[in-house]
């Protein structure tokens, strides 16, 4: 699903993160039983029922010449790796790939950084301020994507937007400035929106992690003369590293496949071909231009790239499972 901002809420206990910590793996019963098979069967059935055909279709189609004609019944022809070689030799693909990776790294990095700072802030301030901040996060988080995008598009509107009005107020010549026209500012706006939507999840998760750090330890460290930064660096960071790494991984996965936000921004303005990321590129190529073979090939490549990016993490995770 393309939508953003899913996640565990504030008081989520830290056990979620234990998956990746060095703490001992869960109590595992070493008995031979058919029970686990019955337990995972419903999951497998649903996943195969819903995803089996689409994923299979995508893999097969990526090796076919499959355009609108084929969609309307002409028999598709197998072309081997033609779709892949065409893509890999198309400079445009590499541009979009590079752009997507950059966007994904920036968005995920900034989101986790801001989320971390907000979590520290929540820990630092009194109950009332914390609640205000939490409610604000929850509101942003609860905004449905389509509704949020509608508001944002209006906020950055070149004639009526609050953004330009504010900037003009502060003495910038922003009146009538169109932020979506230039790819660079288009992505800046997109980045702000994506970060805005994702920070609540990250901040609340990290905060949940922080609440598990005992006050005594921090106070003891303070007594020993550790500064605030030092306490964060040497005590807090190691303890919440697992949470950080999980939210970072999830943000990387989600931000690489960001679709809805970019699509709706493109609908509002901007030059589609210069503002495509992988998600919108696949959409435009497939449903838009009717080249489903190539679109499927991009999807498969994108999957491989995501796996490659997260490989290090996935491997360490799998090691813990042993």
Partner 1 sequence: MKIKSVSTGVWTVVAIAVAVVWAFPVYWMFNSSFLPNAVLQSTTPTFLPFGGSFDNFKNVFADGKFVAALGISLTVTLTTVAVALFVAFLGALAISRFKFKGRKSFILAMLLIQMLPAEGMFIAQYKMMSSVGLLNNVLGLTLLYTAAVIPFTIWMLRGFVAGVPAELEEAGMVDGLSRTQAFMRITFPLLAPGLVASGVYAFLQAWNEFTVALVVMTEDQMKTLPLWLRGFVQASATRETDWGLVMAASMMVAVPVIIFFMIVQSKMSSGLVGGAVKG
Partner 2 sequence: MKKYLGLAALTTAAALSLTACGGSGAPAASSAPTSTGSASASTPAGNADKTLTLWLAGGDTPDALRTYLKDTFKSKTGATLKIEEQAWPDLVTKMTTALPDANNTPDVVEMGNTQSPTFTNIGAFTDLSDMFEELGGAKLIPSFVEAGSVDGKKFTLPYYAGSRYMFQRADVWKEAGVETPKTLDEFNTAVKTITEKNPRDIKNFSGFFLGGQDWRNGISWIFANGGELAKKDGDQWVSTLSDPNTLKGLAQLQDLYKTASKAPADAKDATPWLYINDADQILDEAGKPTGKTSLAAATIMAPGWAHFSIGDLAKDAKTGKDVREWNDKKFSTLVLPGNDGKPAPVLAGGSNIGISAKSQNQDLAKDLMRIIFSSEYQDLLGKNGLGPANSDNNASLGNDEFAKAAIASASNSKLTPAAPGWAAVESSMKLEEFFGKIRDAADLEALAKEYDAKITPQLNLK
Interaction residues for partner 2, span 62-121 (CB under 8 A): 65, 67-69, 71-74
- Check binding of 143 to partner 1 (CB under 8 A): yes
Smaller CB distance to partner 1: residue 186 or 260?
A: 260
Q: Kindly report the CA angle at 5 between 237 and 178, in degrees rounded to 5?
A: 105
- Check binding of 102 to partner 1 (CB under 8 A): no
Q: Nearest approach, Cβ of 310 to partner 2 (angstroms)? A: 30
Q: DSSP of 72-83, one letter per residue?
A: TTPPPEE-TTHH
Q: What six digits make up the tokens of 166?
A: 């504010």
- Give which of partner 1, partner 2, none residue 102 binds (C-beta under 5 to 8 Å, depending on kind): none
- Distance in Å from the first CA to the final CA of the chain: 30
Q: What six digits make up the tokens of 69?
A: 């004609």
Helix axes 183-210, 145-155, angle to 10 degrees: 130
Give backbone dihedrals phi and psi of 78, rounded to 5 degrees, phi first: -75, 130
Scan residues 32-91 and list those touching partner 1 (CB under 8 A).
Answer: 33, 35-40, 42-43, 46-47, 49-51, 53-55, 57-58, 61, 71
Say how far apart CA 119 and CA 137 lie, in whole Å. 11
Segment interacting with partner 1 (CB under 8 A) among 78-86, 88-96, 183-191, 292-300: 292-300
- Give which of partner 1, partner 2, none residue 129 binds (C-beta under 5 to 8 Å, depending on kind): partner 1
x/- string (CB under 8 A) for partner 1, residues 194-233? --x--xx-----------x---------------------
- Check binding of 103 to partner 1 (CB under 8 A): no
The answer for 8, left when phi > 0, alpha when psi is -120 to 50, beta otherwise, is beta
């Amino acid at each position: 699903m393309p939508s953003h901002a899913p996640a565990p809420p504030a008081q989520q206990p830290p056990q979620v993160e234990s998956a990746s910590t060095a703490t001992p793996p869960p109590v595992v019963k070493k008995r031979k039983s058919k029970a686990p098979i019955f337990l995972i069967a419903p999951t497998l059935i649903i996943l195969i029922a819903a995803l089996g055909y689409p994923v299979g279709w995508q893999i097969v189609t990526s090796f076919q010449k499959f355009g609108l004609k084929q969609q309307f019944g002409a028999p598709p022809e197998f072309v081997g790796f033609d779709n892949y070689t065409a893509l890999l030799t198309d400079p445009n693909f590499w541009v979009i790939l590079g752009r997507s990776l950059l966007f994904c790294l920036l968005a995920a990095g900034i989101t986790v950084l801001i989320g971390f700072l907000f979590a520290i802030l929540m820990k630092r301030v009194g109950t009332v301020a914390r609640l205000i901040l939490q409610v604000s996060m929850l509101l942003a988080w609860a905004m449905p994507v389509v509704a949020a995008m509608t508001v944002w598009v209006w906020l950055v509107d070149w004639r009526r937007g609050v953004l330009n009005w504010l900037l003009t107020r502060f003495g910038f010549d922003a009146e009538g400035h169109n932020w979506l026209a230039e790819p660079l500012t288009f992505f800046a706006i997109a980045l702000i929106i994506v970060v805005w939507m994702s920070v609540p999840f990250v901040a609340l998760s990290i905060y949940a992690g922080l609440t598990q750090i005992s006050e005594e330890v921090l106070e003891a460290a303070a007594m020993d003369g550790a500064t605030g930064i030092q306490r964060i660096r040497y005590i807090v960071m190691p303890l919440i590293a697992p949470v950080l790494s999980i939210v970072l991984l999830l943000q990387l996965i989600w931000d690489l496949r960001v679709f809805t936000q970019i699509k709706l921004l493109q609908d509002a303005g901007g030059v589609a071909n210069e503002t495509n990321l992988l998600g919108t590129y696949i959409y435009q190529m497939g449903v838009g231009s009717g080249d489903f073979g190539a679109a499927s090939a991009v999807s498969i490549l994108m999957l491989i790239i995501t796996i490659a990016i997260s490989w290090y993490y996935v491997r360490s995770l799998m090691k813990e499972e042993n």
